[in-house]
Chains A and B, each alone.
Chain A
Amino acid sequence: QSALTQPPSASGFPGQSVTISCTGTSSDVGGYNHVSWYQHHPGKAPKLMIYEVNKRPSGVPDRFSGSKSASTASLTVSGLQAEDEADYYCGSWGGSNTWVFGGGTKLTVL
């Protein structure tokens, strides 16, 4: 049950695109399509942004997209806006009724 690996920080100017990676193993990210992404503004409830690798819940802007290649998943935020500044976490089913999250990436809009 080791944590998934995310870069600690990412940044971009308004209007630009930023991609955040999430690396796991064949036992989690690489083995299942149950990868999700969460936006967290400190002090608030985390918010589901992407589920099942690339699906968006109702109400999430299409500027947010997800993908996966082998054991690395990615979240891309296009057309960066000031309100996108937050911490982002990936999560994956780890098999055997376990879940694992990444360490989080702080996204800064410059």
Chain B
Amino acid sequence: EVQLVESGGGLVQPGGSLRLSCAASGFTLGSYIMRWVRQAPRKGLEWVATINTDGSEEYYVDSVKGRFTISRDNAKNALYLQMNSLRADDTAVYYCARDANWAFEIWGQGTLVTVSS
């Protein structure tokens, strides 16, 4: 079964850091562009970052540029999101998603990140 499972969320203070992981199973991660998407409380979805198949290209929404880093380890079938200098408005459920046909084809169930003192 094709599956994505996120982990690493939790409560962190403003200015702190957190590293999210996304474990892929049922397919070869290295064959796909991967993305992170978030949903703040009572808000819509927001694309956060994209990484190409070999990790050589990364793209970010303006609000996280310079603070977040997307990466991948294809040998481990894993995707990551390193989040630094976290702010209250980064509070959200974070989803990893697999790209196909110019869409977000497969999603995980998400991991909650809460930034609060």
Contacts and interface: CB of A to CB of B under 8 A. Distances in A.
A69 interface: no
A106 B25 CA distance: 31
B44 A89 contact: yes
A52 B101 CA distance: 7
Q: Chain B CB within 10 Å — which of A3, A38, A43, A99 has the most?
A: A99
A47 interface: yes
Interface string A30-72: 0000101010000111111001100101000000000000000
Interface string A68-110: 0000000000000000000001010100011111111000000
Contact of B45 (A48, A93, A104): A104
Interface stretch (B12-20, B75-83, B103-111): B103-111
Contacts of A44: 109
Interface of A: 1, 3, 6, 34, 36, 38, 43-48, 51-52, 55, 57, 89, 91, 93, 97-104
A8 B42 CA distance: 11
A45 B45 contact: no
B45 A1 contact: no
Contacts of B102: 34, 36, 51-52, 93
